[in-house]
Amino acid sequence: MNPTAEQIQKINYFSKVPQNLCAQIAAVVEVQDCDPKEQLLTEGDTGNTMVLIFQGQVEVSKNMMVKTATGITTSRKPIIRLETTDPPPASEPVIKPTVSVVQAPAFGIGEFSLVLDDAIRTAHVHATTSVKYGVLKLDDFSNIVKDNPEVGGSVYFEVAKSAVQNLATASADISNLTQAFFFALTR
Amino acid sequence: MTVDNSENQKLRSITSELGSDESNQTGDDFFDELNQFSDLETIQAVAEEEDKKAEKREGPHLMEKFFSKVISFYKENEFFRYAMWSILLILVSTIALTIVEYDMFKESVMDDVGKTFIFGGDEPNWLDTFFHTFWWSVVTFTTVGYGDVSPVTHLGKFLTIIVMLLNFGVVTLLGGAVASVLVAQRLKGDDTLDENKFNDHLVIAGWNSFVPSILKIIDANHNSISVVILVNEMDTDIMQRAIAGFGFERLNISHIAENFTQEAVLKKAFLEKASALMILPDSSGLLPHEEPDEDKTVLTCLTAKSIAESCNIIAHVINPENVSHLHRANVNEIVIPDDHVPHLLAKHVTDPGVPQFFDDLIVQEEKDKGLQEVAIPKSLSGQTHNKISAFFKFKHNWLLVGYAIRKAGFSLEDQMGESGTPLIRSMIKEQLDGAGISLTNDEHVMVEINPKDDYIIDEKHRALVLR
């Protein structure tokens, strides 16, 4: 089953794409179901697909080196949870005060795959409730963009905005880590 | 509400004394401006509130104060406790025996004293009998037992048995308490200080000729610390003689005669509960020609910070080379005695009078006079400098010269703020916490002298006033 054009338009990357073109995108995406705890993306993998979350809650996490009583080990640290609001998750979503939850009508994950060939996944994504999702392949999207360049204009602009925001955050992270490094050295 | 009439007149007279008509005008303008402060009413209200608080602070009635002091002394002093029990036992036994054996003690007092009695004339009355019974009680209680008088009735004898048995325990405890006081005085220092007595106290590590003067100044400031622990290897007797002549009014001084560089010794001084540690060049145990070892100051600072990171450490160093080491050891404040000498010498030439002013201000500080740091009422937080200045002038007639501001030297947490990924920030905090590194560098006191009128005061400010 394909999603509707409205479902595609709820995702912020496609919000400025005209509905008739969203219908074209919807035609190449198939809605699938996944159970809680099922992995959608794995950190470090390469991929040419963008995952579109239509309903449910997913958790984004990263592998981190942490110091434990037994030494230094790699542990998966949750970064953020993404939760759809239109429609809301079919089952009760996970509530943990330590991880912030971002709510939106629908989400697109792995947006860089629409720009880069074999983009590396920068984080793990797994379902925390039952999730309805679709997969948009780079080839299918590229074909639509070839025929309708205006789709590329608005989608790539949103992807670029996301990339710039990520860059600013990464820059702040580097600054914080550098300060922490010198702070620790001078103590 | 505005400033009351007498204050108005005072202010007007001050401002009118400015001299010429023009300056009179200026003075009046200043006065009017001062009266037009929208918050002057607030300042007056705060002043009244402060008065009420001060009245409250004066505390309960004198009798209540006396009794609370007696009760606390009773709880703290073992010797006093047993002595009180002894007196009570003597009084109870006297009363009981006076009632039970009245006839016997009456006859006995007649036999002993003859025919003239203090209270009863020719015939002993109950007071004479009571005194005679009291005499019996003390003689029995102290185990002297003259035997000049003894109970006759069964009940009297029974009561005496109880008194003698109780006396056995109380006298033993009293003797033990006397012995423990004598032994404690013999011991070097207060080896086992009562932890309950120490909180927000001052620990002075090291001994030199400055210590009595330091204590004298602290003693004179009634709003300051009153509990001090001296830690040095000086003989307690010698140290007590050195400070005895000063007759401190408020200070409660204890002594630990051990090496203050050791962690266990600093813990014995309850450093984790102390508000400040002062490390001085230590002359205790040195021969007259020997110089204090300043490495001990650095080592003590490192040890102290590992025990109580938030403790305010003030170090006095003679050799400026040690300053960098002390900074690395996270000392809060460093005092270098020779630092001000070039300034004072030069000022004698460039601005004669200024060094004398400093002398009067600091060296010849009198009780509750001179330059002092005082708290600013919380309700004035957020006000400007000129309003705070007006408050101190109206309320206490103190001249506000500046502010001492307690600030963290550097806070990684403040520096990071909300920037970057929350995960990275929390990871940094977790990792540094795990390594025992505080995210906030030690606090330091910064000084703001005579700021602009619109300078805003927050709760981290304390006023520096000339009293």
Q: pLDDT band at residue B403, thresholds of 50, 70 and 90?
A: very high
Higher pLDDT among residues B19 and A20, named by residue: A20
My answer on whether omega of the bond before A3 falls inside 30° of 0, hence cis, is no
Total residue length of chain A? 187
Residues sharing a CB contact under 8 Å with residue B271, sequence separation 6 or more, in sequence order: B203, B277, B304, B307, B308, B311
Residue B228 main-chain phi, psi, to 5 deg: -130, 135
**CATH architecture assigned to B77-186:** Orthogonal Bundle (1.10)
Where do we find the tokens 């406790």? B81
Residue A9 predicted with pLDDT over 50: yes
DSSP string, B340-388: GHHHHHHHHHHSTTHHHHHIIIIIT--TT-SEEEEPPPGGGTT-BHHHH
End-to-end alpha-carbon separation of chain A, Å? 60
Interface contact flag, A180 B420, Cβ < 8 Å: no
Residue B436 Cα, gap to closest chain A Cα (Å): 10
Residue B327 main-chain phi, psi, to 5 deg: -60, -40
Q: Does domain B195-335 have CATH number 3.40.50.720?
A: yes
Give how far the C-alpha of residue B329 lies from the chain's centroid of Cα atoms, to the nearest Å. 28
If you average pLDDT over residues A23-43, what whole number do you get?
93
Q: Given the DSSP bridges, would you call strands A124-127 and A39-41 parallel, antiparallel or unpaired?
A: antiparallel
The CATH number assigned to the domain with range A5-185 reads 2.60.120.10
For residue A62, list chain B residues with Cβ-Cβ distance below 8 A: 423
pLDDT at residue number B233: 86
Lowest mean pLDDT among A5-14, B9-18, B151-160, B291-300: B9-18
Dmax of chain B from CA atoms?
A: 103
Interface contact flag, B428 A169, Cβ < 8 Å: no
Mean pLDDT of chain A: 89
Instruction: Please check whether residue B170 is in contact with residue B90, taking contact to mean a CB–CB distance below 8 angstroms.
Output: no
If you average pLDDT over residues A126-145, what whole number do you get?
93
Percent of chain B with pLDDT over 90: 7
Q: In what order do the strands lie in the sheet with A107-109?
A: A31-34, A131-137, A49-55, A107-109
Distance CA B451, CA B265 (A): 43
Interface contact flag, A176 B419, Cβ < 8 Å: yes
Instruction: Please check whether residue B205 is in contact with residue B231, taking contact to mean a CB–CB distance below 8 angstroms.
Output: yes
Higher pLDDT among residues B199 and A82, named by residue: A82
Percent of chain A with pLDDT over 70: 99
pTM over 0.95: no
Residue B17 predicted with pLDDT over 50: no
Provide the residue ranges of all domains of chain A, joining segments of one domain with +: 5-185
Interface contact flag, A172 B419, Cβ < 8 Å: yes
Higher pLDDT among residues B404 and B73, named by residue: B404
For residue A180, list chain B residues with Cβ-Cβ distance below 8 A: 412, 416, 428, 431-432
Interface contact flag, B427 A64, Cβ < 8 Å: yes
Residues β-bridged to residue A62: A77
Q: pLDDT band at residue A45, thresholds of 50, 70 and 90?
A: very high
Residue B395 main-chain phi, psi, to 5 deg: -75, -45
Q: pLDDT band at residue A3, thresholds of 50, 70 and 90?
A: very high
Residue B312 predicted with pLDDT over 50: yes
- Residues of chain A whose C-beta is under 8 A from some C-beta in B? 62, 64, 66-67, 77, 79, 100, 169, 172-173, 175-177, 179-180, 183-184, 187
Residue A179 Cα, gap to closest chain B Cα (Å): 7
Interface contact flag, A77 B427, Cβ < 8 Å: yes
Residues sharing a CB contact under 8 Å with residue B326, sequence separation 6 or more, in sequence order: B297, B298, B301, B315, B317, B334
Pick from A57-66, B188-197, B426-435 the range whose average pLDDT is largest: A57-66
B227 in helix, strand or coil? strand
Residue B407 predicted with pLDDT over 90: no
Provide the residue ranges of all domains of chain B, joining segments of one domain with +: 36-65+370-467, 77-186, 195-335
pLDDT at residue number B126: 78
Distance CA A40, CA B364 (A): 78
Provide the 10 A C-beta neighbour count for residue B395: 16
If you average pLDDT over residues A159-182, what whole number do you get?
91
- Residues of chain B whose C-beta is under 8 A from some C-beta in A? 330, 410, 412, 415-416, 419-425, 427-428, 430-432, 434-435, 437, 439
Residue A143 predicted with pLDDT over 70: yes
Give the tens place of pLDDT for each residue, B180-239. 666 555 444 445 677 777 888 999 999 888 888 888 888 877 777 888 888 988 887 777
